[in-house]
Amino acid sequence: MPKKKEYKATIHANGADISVVSKGNEDDYISLTDIAKHKNPDAPADIVKNWLRSRSTIEFLGLWEQMNNPDFKLVEFDQFKNESGSNAFVLSPQKWISVTNAIGIISKSGRYGGTYAHKDIAFEFASWVSPEFKLYIIKDYQRLKQDENSKLSLEWNVNRVLSKVNYKIHTDAIKENLISNDLTNKQIGCTYANEADMLNMALFGKIAKQWRDENPDSKGNIRDYATIEQLIVMANLENMNANFIEKGLDEKQRLIELNKIARTQLKSLLDNKSVKKLEDLNRKQLGEGK
């Protein structure tokens, strides 16, 4: 399954900053380490381990995994469940993940490392730490999702505007130069699709069908997942392709030239301050711009 693009965000619960790793859907992972700091700022890892010692915790985690993870190892889970609650039972997040193949809890290293858990599990952990604190977390998490929806709306509008900048110029050039009166509707549709795929090949290095085959679980099409830089270049390529069509260049010549243009413009836009400002605005809306 293709990996969804992740971004880092922060929720603010009663003065505490709590990291969130989001994929732009409901599969958000919230930092248990940051939540645990509310109870013990000096040793948050110990708080997480103490929570994992409880039989009720292990039963909850096991049920969540069975509902969401087809690769969860039930035999190993049963062993943990039987041992949980005893004075000698100790379990770290890393051991839980490696032994049971769990996906509800993840362990990250590096600057923003720590233990993260799917929001369902994180809220359960927050209840164990402090029911009152959990309410603060939920309240600001809802604020984060509202901001995310606003960001997605902005991106949709940016995509829509950029994709339509030169659309009519491009389709008119195809209609006037590549489509004759004796073509069937199916042939006309194929002509437009072929030109669109040539632009996809010039910019992304693959046609729409290749992308769909590689990303069967993704909604939309290859252009819906393009970066702002790529969308800007795509609008320019549509204009350039219309010009090349009118000049009579064949498909192979146009593909070579468009690919050169795409590579040159992408390189230039990567350092463009105006584009970076737009990206920074998007990140700030997600809590990343701090």
pLDDT, tens only, 206-249: 998 999 999 888 777 888 788 777 877 888 888 888 888 888 89
Where is average pLDDT lowest: 91-100, 172-181, 195-204? 172-181
| pLDDT of 11 above 80 | yes
Question: What's the CA gap between 80 and 249, in Å, rounded?
Answer: 68
Tokens of 248: 């009579």
- The length of the chain in residues reads 290
Domain ranges in the chain?
A: 7-144, 165-285
On the CB side of 231, how many CA atoms lie within 13 Å of its CA?
20
Question: What's the CA gap between 123 and 26, in Å, rounded?
Answer: 14
Q: Do 234 and 162 form a contact (C-beta atoms < 8 A)?
A: yes
Question: Residues of 114-138 as b/e, b for ≥16 C-beta within 10 angstroms?
Answer: bbbbbbbbbbbbbebbbeebbebbe
Q: How many CB atoms lie within 10 A of CB 10?
A: 16
For residue 289, what pLDDT is reported? 43
